Structure 1
Amino acid sequence: MTDFERKVYRIIFNMSRFGKNPSMEQLKRKTGKDEQSIRAAVKNLMRQRTLSWDKKKEKWKV
């Protein structure tokens, strides 16, 4: 896991603990990166099975 992936993971983890899903705008603001970089990091985390999306609850499983 790269530093950027770890940063995205921690943001999603911390926000999901309080029942919130971070929006793309929030992730852009907190990371300072563009949408393409964030999407690539999230896809990689999902490939590694570190993150998953629960379709029924519409929340991240961390």
Structure 2
Amino acid sequence: MTDLERKIYRIIYNMSRFRKNPTMDDLKRKTGKDEAAIRKAVKNLLSRNELEWDKEKREWQFK
């Protein structure tokens, strides 16, 4: 896991504990990266099954 992936994972995890899903603006502000880099990191986390989006509950699931 790269530093950016680890940072995004922690941001999503910590915000979801309080039932709030981070927006792209939240992730851009907290990481200092652009949208393309964030999307790539999230896709990598999803492809390695470290994150999963539950469509019914509309929340992140962590492995």
Instruction: State the TM-score, normalizing by the size of structure 1.
Output: 0.98
What's the C-alpha RMSD, in Å, of the aligned pairs?
0.4
What is the aligned residue count?
A: 62
Matching of residues 1-62 of structure 1 within 5 Å: 1-62=1-62
Identical counterparts, % of pairs: 66
Identify unmatched segments of 5+ residues in structure 2. Answer: none
Q: CA deviation at 1:5?
A: 0.3
Equivalent position amino acid for 2:51 in 1: L
Structure 1 residue ranges, 4+ long, deviating more than 2 angstroms after superposition? none
Distance 2:24 2:3 in 1: 19
How much has 1:51 moved relative to structure 2? Answer: 0.2
Where does structure 1 lack aligned partners over 5 or more consecutive residues?
A: none
TM-score, scaled relative to structure 2: 0.96
